[in-house]
A and B are shown apart, each in its own frame.
Chain A
């Protein structure tokens, strides 16, 4: 089983809202990732967690706040987003950082 799940599938939020994206995997993977993808562009790495510790933050604005409560779960907390943050947010996991990544279906986010 190589399934990564993400909720919600779609999210519409205003610029003053606070929301969270959730990602879950039960493959025993110890690395988890958040990517942002705009239309017709490749996925853009945001954060990497390795063994539940944040190992890479690609200079992402503080209005995005990741959290890894345990080895199976990854959250992305959103606050005071801008319309330009509208995108597909992808979660991925791998056995460890340099191994094959498996992607979840993504959350389509629209910021109004």
Chain B
């Protein structure tokens, strides 16, 4: 049983560009959350998707958007990249509306130059 998978592993972009990160949840999980982790800090919640809709959102600008597909996989899009967007982007999945723990993927390391 594959866990949470993310692609790509690493990515280098230039300031002002746009980027799309992808996540496939653990089998049986229908809720996907995205987090941004800057170097030396804890993960910061970006947003959560359930039933193809954004259910909760953290304190991130509209440049950060997402999508969830019918197969529960998800994308994170970031427009007009800033140097400060350089971070590890983590995806976590869980069975929706339950007490179960979230399973995290290995993350995508984004570097903005």
A and B: interacting chains: no
